Amino acid sequence: MTSNSFARFEKWLDLMKKKDLEATQKKKKQRTNIPPIRKNNDKFNLKKQTNTTKTEKKQKNDKSNKQKIENFTVPTVEEILSTSSEEEEITVKKEPEKKKRISSYDYDGWDKLIYEEKKKKQLIDEALEHKAKGNKCYGSKKWKEAITHYTKAISIYDGDHIFYSNRAACYLKIKMYKSAEEDCTRALQIDPKFIKAWFRRGLARKNLKNYRFAIKDFKKVLKLQPENQASVKEILAINKQIKQDNPLNTSQKTNSSKQTKAKAKPNTQRNAKTNNSNSKKIENERKQLEKIQEQLLGLNVTPLKNIKQKQVNKPQIQVIDKNENEDEKLKQNKKKKEKSSSLKTENKIINEKENKKVTTNKKTEQNYNNTKKNTNDQKTTANTTTTPNTKKTKTTPNNKTDKENPKKQQTSKVAQLKSIKVSIPSTSPKTFFEFEKIWRQFSQIQNEDTKLDSKNKYLEIINPQILPKIFQNSFSVEYFVEILQILQYRLKINKSPNESMKSNINKILYYISQIPRFSMAFMFLSRKEKQILTEIIAKTNVQKNQLYLKVRKLYKM
Amino acid sequence: MNKKQKEQEIFKIYAEKSMPITAYDIKWMGDSGKFVLLGMGTSGQGSFTINEVVKGKKINVIKSFQQSASIKCGSFGISEISSRKLVVGDFSGNFGIWDLDEGRRTPIMRVQGAHTSMINSICCAGGGDEYSGHGSPEVCTGGHDGAVKLWDVRQKQKPIFQYAANSQTSDDCWSVSLGSAHDNTNRLLASGHESGAIHLWDLRNTSVPLIDETTNQGVCSLSFDQVSKPANSLLATCVNSTIAVLQIKDSKLVKQDVSQYLGESWLTIWHGEWAKSTNIKNQNKNKSKFVLSDSDGVVHLVEKNGKSFEFLHSQAISSQAISSFSIHPQNPSAFAFTSFDTKTRISYCSLFD
């Protein structure tokens, strides 16, 4: 079977061998009909080549040096590829746009020129007549008649951009957006600086829901004519529509950019760069729009909000010992990053006002990104004796006492800690950042019962469906273990749980299993923790419930 | 394997061999049964080898060439089909023209610094015959810096045409293709980017692109259905299991997520090409058919019906991704596949004979 099926293929292979031999033995003919080097309008360059950086200059120098070497070594083979200088002259003559110098004795040439010019004029005049008719119809709102007139004009004379753009305007009125877009591109091919065509094409694309390119066109209008307010309005309108259509559009884009190809490349950091580039794109576009708004509209426009920068409801921490000069302490603590992590848990003495000042600044995000310890340092004011800041601070009554009696200090700290009450926020978190902040506050409470109690209450607020979105890629064994402890605690208190409670626990377990990297965390559980899991699942047995069965399967019970 | 399974194998593998190169690209050589494998050699340098398919299901390595920067892509088509000049683009942004018949160890011509970072894809047209199009010999390169540049072989100091993206938003250009070169002046240039943007320029007037479309998924490969005749459609294969076909006259884009046929929704479709056939009878049948290769090692034969795609046949050829494949210009039933499991496979598909 196989030999027959490949018979034709093998015949062809034999043929190809013969041809191969012929090809190598053949003398290579020079190609005679190569057209000259193409000359194109280089106007469509977003980045102009004139901005040469140092690296480009170096490359140019290298090129020139190496060209000399290559030109020297390879004269014969290049002849095949390169044309002689004669053909290059032909290009110049054939260009009708440039004004040629016709010598005074070239009567034929003059005659031709005059004849061609006359013809052109006649054609253009005819076409302009039709265009005038079209304009009249446009004025009296007869769109389709206007289109017929404009098409006649185009059929007579091809090269006037105004005909195309006028026809595009008519198409826009009839809502034939695709043909409007095409007409605008043709107009722009003739005259790429014609503002009306860019604007109309933007409108057409907007209505075709091609938002990205529509914004590009409107930006081009602004480049050519910075005072154009209509285009700014259009850009804002488009942004609104994008948000209406897809409220999570930006987050989806960043997710899709993460799913790049896994090609074998020498630079493995490339994928990371693409992620950043996509998110940077969006941010840059927004920043540009903000600038435009401020310049042109002259109003204090509220900046477009990013989903990430939403304001967090901060927990209200009751103050027990008020210190007056804590502002200054905070500032000084921010500047010096200290590794007094053992004394982190001392003194959560912050007023509400100070909390707002600290957390609404951008520094919180930066510090969070830098080290996790810093968040605690912001909230806690490490006591003055333990830090070298004491010399700089303005003296307070507490400072003096602390310097004298460090031991008394520690006992007072412990007392303060025990008496701290952390209140639970009323709204559920929407990002991992929020969740972790609040979670960490709870974990600093020393009394275990209250810890678990407050964490439990916090968990109750969170809708379990959101859990995968909150955790995304930051799920770890520690959180898993903590959640299991909380659930255990819940069942301790309510020894005979309701059905609603059981279903709630089942839901939590189910949605935890949907978090990415769940399987990794599951593998790293110790025996004790798995025992806890089995207990929980056994206790929350709901008969004939699909969720329960799913949970059992997922946790392999 | 059962008889039924054998009959269902449309891409019958004739020969396979494992090569010491990690191959990124493969191209058949015209007027012969040889093909060229391009990629990175064992010690990180760039190398490409000429191999021949021989009767008796063998592949012989004939010659190998080396250069310092590892090679990403290559293409014939800058000269007639019987004169073997290969254009090779590499990871450091240079490209060079090699003459394979002479067998020189260095390229005839080299353009240094064509791009500031690596050249992702390269395409040539203008060889002067029906396989590589008419007109002047031109090379088009698309780079990691987002720029698309068109070079004429006679002028290597400066590109004839370039499309450079903004420095802030460098939209990585992943694929480039030339087509519709049926005349001395006519030519179309298509570029596909990481953001999914497809730009199509008519090279007679490049002030404004002819068509601007997006597929919203990074475009891995582009292919015109005709090089030496006026092209009707452009095939774009993308990341995340999507395909798109752009009809040039209407500028309509038909885009579809084909994860149901492939089995997963996160597969990248590395390469796609329109299928052709030698018989005139079969040409009408196979007009709207194309071949895809994806990252699972599966090759698909797909047909476009109006606004939807129909998967006629899928066949698993390798266990790892098939990075590229090539259809022989003179025999559209001969396929050559490379994949990341270091094996190259030559297969014969009787449908297109």
Assess A6–B contact: CB distance below 8 Å, yes or no: yes
Would you tell me which residues 267-306 of chain B have a C-beta closer than 8 angstroms to some C-beta of chain A? Answer: 268, 295
Beta strand segments in A270-418, E: none
A280 and B CB contact within 8 Å:
yes
Which has the closest alpha carbon to B173: B164, B182, B181, B185? B164
A40 closest CB neighbour out of B169, B203, B212: B203
Tokens of B109: 């011509």
Quick check: helix, strand or coil at residue A451? helix
Q: pLDDT by residue (tens digit) across A250-277?
A: 444 444 444 444 444 444 444 444 455 5
The domain tally of chain B equals: 1
In chain A, what percentage of residues exceed pLDDT 70?
57
Instruction: Provide the shortest C-alpha distance from residue A10 to chain B (in Å).
Output: 6
The minimum CA-CA distance between A451 and chain B, rounded to whole Å, is 42
User: Which tokens in the block code for residue B259?
Assistant: 């994860």
Q: Which residues of chain A does B209 touch, with a Cβ-Cβ cutoff of 8 Å?
A: 44, 185
Cβ–Cβ gap A1/B6 under 8 Å: yes
Q: Sign (positive/negative) of CA torsion A147, A150, A152, A155? A: negative
| Ranges A239-243, A257-261, A540-544, B266-270: which has the least confidence | A257-261
- Tell whether A178 is within 8 A of chain B (Cβ): yes
Q: What is the ipTM of this complex?
A: 0.89
Q: Is A319's pLDDT higher than 60?
A: no
Q: What pLDDT was estimated at residue A510?
A: 86
Tell whether A34 is within 8 A of chain B (Cβ): yes
Can you name the residues that pair with A301 across neighbouring β-strands?
Answer: none
Strand order in B148-152's β-sheet? Answer: B119-125, B138-143, B148-152, B161-163
Q: Which tokens in the block code for residue A10?
A: 């093998």
The token duo for A451 is: 């810890």
Single-letter amino acid, residue B131: Y
- Residues of chain B in contact with residue A55, where contact means CB-CB under 8 angstroms, are 116
pLDDT at A248: 60
- Percent of chain B scoring above 90 in pLDDT: 54
pLDDT tens-digit series, residues A103-138: 666 677 777 788 888 888 888 888 999 999 999 999
Contact (CB<8Å) B240/A40: no
Contacts of B195 in chain A (CB under 8 A): 278
**B334 at interface of A, judged by CB pairs closer than 8 A:** yes
Inspect the interface and report whether the beta carbons of A277 and B169 lie closer than 8 Å.
Answer: yes
Answer for the pair B163, A44: CB distance below 8 angstroms, yes or no.
Answer: yes
Q: Cβ of A70 and B206 within 8 Å? A: no
Nearest to A63 among B82, B112, B195 (CB): B112
The model's confidence at residue A391, banded by pLDDT at 50, 70 and 90, is: very low
Give mean pLDDT, residues B178-183. 89
Query: What is d(CA A29, CA A18) in angstroms, rounded to the nearest whole number?
Result: 20
B108 touches chain A (CB under 8 A): yes
| pLDDT digits 0-9 by tens, A454-466 | 888 888 888 888 8
Gap between the Cα atoms of A372 and A377, Å rounded: 9
- Note whether B27 and B74 are within 8 A (CB): yes
CA–CA dist A459, A470 (Å, integer): 13
Q: Which residues pair with B90 in a beta bridge?
A: B71
Q: Which among B112, B212, B214 is the nearest to A59, CB-wise?
A: B112
Q: What does the pLDDT read at residue B185?
A: 85
Q: Sign of the CA dihedral A362, A364, A370, A374?
A: positive
A192/B207 Cβ within 8 A: yes
Which chain A residues are closer than 8 Å to B125 by Cβ? none
Model pLDDT, residue A531 = 86
The secondary structure of chain B in percent helix, strand, coil, rounded to multiples of 5, reads: 5, 50, 45
Q: Among B165, B333, B348, whose Cβ lies nearest the Cβ of A47? A: B165
Burial of A124 (0-12, 13-18, 19+ CB in 10 A): middle
Greater confidence (A421 vs A190) lies with A190
Exposure letters A38-73 (e unless 16+ CB within 10 A, then b)? bebebebeebeeeeeeeeeeebeeebeeeeeeeeee
Residue B122 sits in a domain of what CATH number?
A: 2.130.10.10
A187-208 pLDDT tens trace: 998 888 899 999 999 999 999 9
Note whether A538 contacts B: Cβ–Cβ < 8 A. Answer: no
Cα–Cα distances (Å) from B204 to A41, A42, A179, B145, in that order, read 9, 12, 21, 25
Q: Which structural domain range is residue B300 located in?
A: 3-352
Say how far residue B41 (Cα) sits from the centre of its chain. 21
DSSP B98-134: EETTTT-SS-SEEETTSSSS-EEEEEEE--SSTTT-S
pLDDT > 90? residue B322 = yes
Residue B253 sits at φ, ψ, to 5 deg, of: -115, 125
DSSP string for A466-526? GHHHHHTT---HHHHHHHHHHHHHHHHH-SS--HHHHHHHHHHHHHHHTSTTHHHHHHT--
Interface of A with B in 51-90 (CB under 8 A): 55-56, 59-60, 62-63, 66-67, 70, 74, 77-78, 80-83
**What local confidence, expressed as pLDDT, does residue A40 receive?**
63
CB A146 within 8 A of CB A134: yes
pLDDT in tens, A434-480: 888 888 888 887 777 888 888 888 888 888 888 888 888 888 888 88
Pairs across A and B, CB distance < 8 A: 187
Say if CB B251 and CB B305 are below 8 A apart.
Answer: no
- The answer to whether the CB atoms of A14 and B55 lie below 8 A apart is yes
Distance from CA of B305 to the nearest CA of A (A): 23
Q: List, for residues A493-520, the tens digit of each pLDDT value.
A: 887 778 788 888 888 888 888 888 888 8
Please check whether residue A262 touches B, CB under 8 A. yes
Q: Is A143 on the interface with B (CB under 8 A)?
A: no
Percentage of residues of chain A with pLDDT beyond 90? 12
Give the minimum alpha-carbon distance from A484 to chain B in angstroms, rounded to a whole number.
33
**Given B108, B207, B353, which is nearest A74 (Cβ)?**
B108
What is the C-alpha to C-alpha distance for residues A486 and A492, in angstroms, rounded to an integer?
10
Identify residue A492 by its one-letter amino acid code: K
pLDDT at B244 over 90: yes
Mean pLDDT value of segment B306-330: 91
pTM of the full structure: 0.48
Please give the residue that has the higher pLDDT: either B290 or A423: B290
> How far apart (Å, rounded) are the C-alpha atoms in residues A49 and A56?
10
Q: Which candidate in B22, B28, B154 is best for mutational testing of the A interface (most A CBs within 10 A)?
A: B154
Q: How confident is the model at residue B281 (pLDDT cuts 50, 70, 90)?
A: confident
pLDDT digits (tens, 9 = 90+) for B34-84: 999 999 998 889 999 999 999 989 999 999 999 999 999 999 989 888 888
The one-character DSSP state at B141 is E
- CA–chain centroid gap for B239, Å, is 16
Taking the C-alpha atoms of residue B191 and residue B219, their distance in angstroms, rounded to an integer, is 9
Contact by Cβ (8 Å): A144, A177? no
Please give the pLDDT value at position A115: 81
Q: How many CB atoms lie within 10 A of CB B285?
A: 13
pLDDT score, position A277: 57
Cβ pair B55:A213 closer than 8 A: no
Q: Suggest the residue from A8, A11, A261, A282 to mutate for an interface test with chain B (most B CBs closer than 10 A).
A: A261
Q: Which residues in chain B (81-100) have CB-CB distances under 8 A to chain A?
A: 82-84, 91, 97, 99
Question: What is the side-by-side order of every strand in the sheet holding B197-202?
Answer: B173-179, B188-193, B197-202, B211-214
- The pair of structure tokens assigned to A64 is 């020139």
Which of B79, B165, B208 lies nearest to residue A189, judging by beta carbons?
B208
- Name the minimum distance, in Å, from the CA of B267 to any CA of chain A: 9
Q: Do residues A551 and A506 lie in contact, with contact meaning Cβ atoms separated by under 8 Å?
A: yes
Categorize the per-residue pLDDT at B97 as very low, low, confident or very high, splitting at 50, 70 and 90. Answer: very high
Interface of A with B in 234-253 (CB under 8 A): none
Q: In this structure, is the dihedral angle defined by the CA atoms of residues B293, B272, A20 and B109, taken in order, positive or negative?
A: negative
Q: Lowest-confidence range among A72-76, A156-160, A500-504, B218-222? A: A72-76
Distance from CA of B96 to the nearest CA of A (A): 12
Chain A CB within 8 Å of residue B14 CB = yes
Which of A6, A49, A185 shows the shortest C-beta gap to B348? A6
Which pLDDT score, from 0 to 100, does residue B28 have? 94
When mean pLDDT is compared over A411-420, B283-292, B324-333, the highest value belongs to B324-333
Distance CA A510, CA A42 (A): 59
Query: Which of A16, A90, A177, A270 is the best mutation test for B, with the most CBs of B within 10 A?
Result: A16
Poorest-confidence range of A17-26, A63-72, A229-238, A335-344? Answer: A335-344
| Mean predicted confidence (pLDDT) in A82-100 | 41
* Mean pLDDT over each residue of chain A, to the nearest integer: 69
